[in-house]
Amino acid sequence: MGLNITQKIIKSHLVSGEMVPGKEIGIKIDQTLTQDATGTMAYLQFRAMDIPTVKTQLSVSYVDHNTLQSDFKNADDHRFLQTVASKHGIYFSKPGNGICHQVHLERFGKPAKTLLGSDSHTPTGGGIGMLAIGAGGLDVAVAMAGQPFYLPMPKIVRVELKNSLKPWVSAKDVILHLLSLISVKGGVNKIMEYGGEGVTTLSVPERATITNMGAELGATTSIFPSDNNTKKFLEAQGRLKDFTPLTSDSDATYDEVIVINLAELEPLAACPHSPDNIMPIKDLDLTVNQVVIGSCTNSSYTDMKRISEILKGKKVHPEVSLAIAPGSRQVLEMLARDGSLANLISAGARILESACGPCIGMGQAPNSGGITLRTFNRNFEGRSGTKDASVYLVSPETAAASALSSKITDPRTLGAYIPVNMPEKYLLDDSMILAPSNQPEKVTVVLGPNIKPVPIGEPLKSQMELPISIKVGDNITTDHIMPAGAKVLPFRSNIPAISEFVFSAIDPGFSNRSKELGQSIIIGGQNYGQGSSREHAALAPMYLGVRVVIAKSFARIHKANLVNFGILPLEFKDPADFDFLEQNDTLLLDNLLTDLRGGTVNVTNRRTGRNIELTVDLSPRQLDVIEKGGLLAFTKAKA
């Protein structure tokens, strides 16, 4: 029996386990990436392991999130990241060089390699044929130390693409359509592998848009073949030597198959406040206040070039604020050199730094009650920086058409389609990517006053009696647990300070209450922890004394992060038991260490006397990690 693309990569990198869905496997990691919002803590964790040099083939540290330097904190973090990279064998992409996923695709990604990144949109690399997976920063630190990355072997779903897209329908509409089919939970513990004749009609940047936003499916990752289009892209980037052909065998099998006829798709939007709340553009009647084009989903040169051509010779509607953020310095300079940037400026666009910016609430918050169209990947409530704003996720073409009219506008009304060809050669200038020092012993790592030591979790006890500090519903995101934005992000390297903001968007009293309780339990609904890979959504609650999270189900990355920081994730055997628990109830967990190994934990509600049965969906290795107090303590003990 033949192998599919995913199986080929996993087989060649398999360190432990079997490729049986649901069974834990360990895979060797070739490359890692971090960004500054997660990287500072990841490198503090790496340094705590006392390993002098990273053991991966390539590791890159990017600065693209905390680029707003309103005081010393972010600048100090950037200085720490640059010095730690220089000392420990890591490449450093300076602020302004671009968004990590866009730059990595351009300059470092290699087909058939594994990539682990401390950002949930690391699967962007799947557009170039990489097995690229998002994870918490501690997982990345451990991978840099040469250890395998562990995960449940995912099911592999073939997404069969037929025919080709019609004019003015884009790659963004493909992934929005898939979200409408299977929802934000439909990809959990699955890898979406794209195939079919429709694949050959999509460029690498278009494929990367689709794999990037596959994170919103809850998928482990998404991947495309490495074919002639991949070869052309790498050759244009001056990296032909990095090309490796990679396709599935003709007799490869899959756990599921989804068929999408590209010719039947139309322009779509994800409506507030979830990426899977999909409607056709033609069915929406909205007055638009703001349009923002960019993010790691839609900031490639071809995206920006088409926007420039749409806006050329026209003016943005006076009632609309249009902001554009090219994804990398390469993209920005190419736009400047070919006249496209002048078109954007002349039309009235505000040109932003090549960084994540508004996508993580770092500037460009819309007006109160405003309607904003964004080419981003997430539209969670409040993520834009304005709690009562309505965020719609759309393609660049829809965004540009709407900026001109001040109404959400189907781009098919623009007239003749404007084709944009892939460049035969990209502008190559890596001067803002710094190689590590060849004399690391002479490099001093600089820590600013806002950078605090890494908290270490406590070993798990067999008997605990813990109060419930908060009870929340379904689809609680990491933005709910640990907000982003200009106010919070500067404290990413200061856990005592950032812990003050845990659950602040939905329960401002949570932090103080947790401190008063000492140790506690969180109760959650379905898909608890969906969204970003930010490990601070587990690390900060651990610092506040959270020992257990009981939920109906968990998002993959967040569940792994809970384990990494010694917080026990348990699931209701009967979801109806969720209704019999209230905030401030006290739960007794008795004989816990023995019960965990049996796969079932019983807890007693002290208020009602009711016994509740919980399931344990953790591997023996994860149980060892939990019992030691987290992955850092476990790794140090193992070493």
Backbone angles phi, psi at 150, to 5 degrees: -105, 140
Q: Which residues pair with 351 in a beta bridge?
A: 324
Which residues lie below 8 Å from residue 241, measured CB to CB, with a gap of 6+? none
Q: Dihedral of CA 18/22/25/31: which sign? A: positive
- CA distances to 249, 533, 534 from 562, rounded to whole Å, are 37, 11, 11
Question: Residue 234 and residue 222: Cα distance in Å, rounded?
Answer: 19
Q: Which residues pair with 193 in a beta bridge?
A: 158, 223
DSSP class of residue 146 equals T
Which residues lie below 8 Å from residue 393, measured CB to CB, with a gap of 6+? 172, 176, 269, 270, 275, 374, 375, 376, 377, 378, 379
**What type of residue is 486?**
A
CB 148 within 8 A of CB 135: no
Longest dimension (CA), the chain: 72
Question: Residue 245 and residue 77: Cα distance in Å, rounded?
Answer: 39
Letter string b/e over residues 103-122, b meaning 16 or more CB atoms within 10 A of that residue's CB:
bbbbbbbbbbbbbbbbbbbb
Which residue reads 């089919």 in tokens? 181
CB 465 within 8 A of CB 589: yes
Which residue reads 């929406």 in tokens? 284
User: Residues with catalytic annotation?
Assistant: 64-65, 119, 378, 532, 534
